[in-house]
Amino acid sequence: MRQESLTAKPVIRSLKALGAAEAACRRCELYRFATQVVPGKGPTHAPLMLVGEQPGNDEDLTGNPFVGPAGRVLDRALGDAGIERGKVFITNAVKHFKFEQRGKRRLHKRPNAHEIERCRWWSEYEWELVQPKLIVALGTTAARSIMGKPITIARVRGEVMTTPEKWNCLVTIHPSAILRMPDERDKAREYANFVADLKTCGKYAAG
């Protein structure tokens, strides 16, 4: 164990047990409105752990991370970077979908600092169970959760940093940021940069 980050916490020895514990979580109010918890998915001891912000509508309905539009961008980028998704552990900083109801639509709403901090409890379990060589923060919410403080992506993007618990972490953009870009040239450029970041992650994890 890297550090006693799990002091005074229940002992959880498997990802299956972790998912069950997350499903029973009442540490913040998000569970009241989400359809279900969305635990991380992937092999134990995966060298790479990718962490997004929170589940979206599709993830909330299926119970699986990164299966919506952002997930399709991530899948394509992983393929272009030569990384098999099945060999990567994929999760989110916050495990329940936070949204604002607009008619029949549920619109994404960014988690606040309290919700991020309360859910970090579960992230610490994931780190200990998976033991990744590198944790990849996809976006500012994931970076804040992993590093324990606000992070400006432009200042640290692509740099391997060390978390308070001594895990290695690299910060890049969230694939949804690419989807939101209106200009196709900007979108293509950022996608290429994102793939380059993932290639760096793959090389680091393989080293």
| Predicted confidence (pLDDT) per residue in 49-88, tens digit | 999 999 999 999 999 999 999 999 999 999 999 999 999 9
User: Would you place residue 4 in the very low, low, confident or very high pLDDT band (cuts 50, 70, 90)?
Assistant: very low
- Strand partners of residue 52: 92
Dist. CA 123–CA 35, nearest whole Å: 20
Dist. CA 87–CA 40, nearest whole Å: 13
| Predicted confidence (pLDDT) per residue in 158-202, tens digit | 999 999 999 999 999 999 999 999 999 999 999 999 999 999 999
The pTM assigned to this predicted structure is: 0.94
Dist. CA 174–CA 18, nearest whole Å: 25
CATH number for 15-104+119-206: choose from 3.40.470.10, 1.10.4080.10, 3.40.30.10, 3.40.190.10: 3.40.470.10
Domain positions in the chain: 15-104+119-206
